[in-house]
A and B are shown apart, each in its own frame.
Chain A
Amino acid sequence: MSSAIEKIISDHIGRKVHAGEFVETPIDLIYFHDGTGILVFKHLEEMLVKKVGDVESIVFFDHSVPPHSIEASTLQKYVLESSRKFGISKIYFMGEGIGHQVIHEEGHVKPGQIIIGADSHTPTLGALGVLALGVGALDAAYGLAAGKLWLKVPETLLITVEGRIPKGVYAKDIILHIIGSLRAYGALGKVVEFSGSVTERLSVDSRFTLCNMSVEMGAVSCFQKIDEKTINYLKNFGVCDLRKYFSDKDSYVEEYFFDISSLEPQVSCPHSVDNVKSISEVEGVSVDQIFIGSCTNGRLEDLVEVAKILKNGRVKPYVKLIIVPASKRILMKAMSLGLIEIFLKAGAMVGVPGCGPCLGMHMGVLGDDEVGISTSSRNFIGRMGSRKAKIYLASPATAAASALTGEITDPRRFLK
């Protein structure tokens, strides 16, 4: 009885491994960004490495693009020059989008791989049937040099989601509800695997949202077995090399079941992601800023939902609406569908593809006593700017509806 994760690691190491064992596993792909890259290269220098090894490696410039300060520009130049010097296999420079999105749009992700990313939201890629682990800069540097990662083989926790998907409820609401129930440490040290008819019905875009936020309940990673939808999605980006992994029925350490048939839109309240409430409990809270984007909810499907709500309205005067598509491909698709025109006409600011204001560095930093609603994944104190600001997390639809009214608003009011 083995989990998909145990099977993937076993195939990489060449012997059968079990959860709890310490191993050094070969890895297939390493990526990092303009933020974590600074320390990645400092570590490589200290390790006396001249050139990185054979493992495919990618650097994305996504965290502060275009750079917002002299320090950011200077350090990005260091990351770029170091990437060339050490022989990083691929560089996606500024404007291409968020690494977690661009990496599969460009065909680098193949089911069955072990991928490490020096960014905590790397498990987003688990929606494509890979073991994707978020690591620190030194793990990434060691991986670049030695091609390996030390690891305690994680246990797998199964979450089954069933029921009818109510109007106004999206993947974001589902995962917020789950995090609210299991709490911020509910999956600590484990891989979360999603199953059930709801997961099957969700698009691949939505599955990314589920996997992305599983990190916020402490999960090491997230895994979803691949199906027809995943296969078609990957084919679209030129990936046909598929290794399918499934968990054996009795391989889960814990199992949870959720029926979402009567779920309302969900909102995560300050200052922790697991402080989740139904929209009816928080409706009416005034907001200064709305951010729609990030590796959690900056994909085309999200922008389409936002446009449905914004197309017949105007952003409430003196409220800031910032929309940042997750990648250049998504931005271009949104342009050809007329979505960007809808956003601009409604009064939104549309930003350069990348992480945007999610991490409180630029493009919409929250000030003292400001209230923001964001489609990103974290609302910790100080995350998006002032430690005196408050951050609410919600779906793109809820965020868009709130932009029209200037207060937290149930999106079902605007959905026919």
Chain B
Amino acid sequence: MIVKGRVWKFGDNISTDIIIPGKYLRTLNYSLWVKHLMEGLDPAFSSKIRKGDIIVAGKNFGCGSSREQAVLAIKLAGISAVVAESFGWIFFRNAINNGLLVVECPNIVKYVETGDIMEINVIEGYVKTPRKILSIKPYPKFIMDIISLGGLTEYYRRKKHG
């Protein structure tokens, strides 16, 4: 699984309240979440991104509220992956469960800037920026199975109905 894209870099402790504020949660109009993605930091963010872009962040990305809309907003906006030094526990689960590629990569923020083109190779276990190649831990088989099926919904269906 190789992903290549343009980087948007953020800092530490980006909460799900920043990714998608609570006031936009009472809807099933998914495009609303995309429109307000990252509104807490940059209300114009959704108009700047292109399909395939990558979010890079520091520690504890997606901390706070369990709202799955944070993952869905990122995924539906066309972001291909989130690479962070570490993730909020629930956000990480939500991403895996919903088929959004999330990669833990210590020190990544030192070696990449917004606008850089970055490559992620999950199978061979590295992240390549214009400045450095960093190794990443391979996923355990269990998570890889969920990812390769596109998420927990399909994982359940296959398990149940074969």
Contacts and interface: CB of A to CB of B under 8 A. Distances in A.
A binds B: yes
B97 A380 contact: no
Contacts of B160: 47-48, 145-146
Given A36-B66, A36-B68, A138-B97, A381 B26 contact: no
Contacts of A281: none
Contact of B89 (A24, A47, A218): A218
A118 B18 contact: no
A185 B152 contact: no
A382 interface: yes
Contact of B13 (A24, A146, A185, A365): A185
A138 B26 contact: no
A274 B12 CA distance: 12
Contacts, number: 138
A119 interface: yes
B91 to A, nearest CB: 8
Interface residues of A, number: 49
B113 interface: no
B129 to A, nearest CB: 22
A36 to B, nearest CB: 7
Interface string B126-162: 0000000000000010110010000111001101110
A152 B139 CA distance: 12
B88 A218 contact: yes
A134 B156 contact: no
Nearest to B69: A39
Given A120-B90, A185-B60, A46 B27 contact: no
A83 interface: no
A268 to B, nearest CB: 13
A136 B156 contact: no
B89 to A, nearest CB: 5
B80 interface: no
Place the interface of chain B in its size category: 35 or more
Nearest to A32: B66
A47 B97 CA distance: 13
Contacts of A383: 15, 17, 21-22
Contacts of A274: 13
Contacts of B64: 120, 378, 380
A265 interface: no
Contacts of B89: 134, 188-189, 218, 220
Contacts of A138: 68, 94, 97-98, 151-153
Nearest to A24: B142
A188 B67 CA distance: 18
Contact of A136 (B21, B40, B41, B90): B90
Nearest to A381: B40
Nearest to B61: A185
B75 interface: no
A142 interface: yes
A203 interface: no
Interface string A68-92: 0101100100000000000000000
Given A142-B156, A189-B89, A39 B142 contact: no
B25 to A, nearest CB: 6
A64 interface: yes
A134 B90 contact: yes
A382 B17 contact: yes
Nearest to B151: A138
A139 interface: yes
Contacts of B146: 150
B76 to A, nearest CB: 13
Given A64-B26, A184-B12, 11 more contacts: A36-B67, A46-B153, A47-B160, A75-B28, A136-B90, A188-B89, A359-B65, A380-B15, A381-B18, A383-B17, A387-B40
15 contacts: A137-B94, A138-B94, A139-B94, A139-B152, A142-B156, A184-B60, A184-B63, A185-B86, A188-B88, A218-B60, A218-B88, A380-B15, A381-B17, A382-B39, A383-B17
Interface of A: 22, 24, 35-36, 38-39, 42-43, 46-48, 64, 69, 71-72, 75, 118-120, 134-139, 142, 145-146, 150, 152, 184-185, 188-189, 218, 220, 272, 274, 359-361, 365, 378, 380-383, 385, 387
**Top 4 nearest A-B pairs by Cβ distance?**
A136-B94, A185-B60, A138-B97, A380-B17
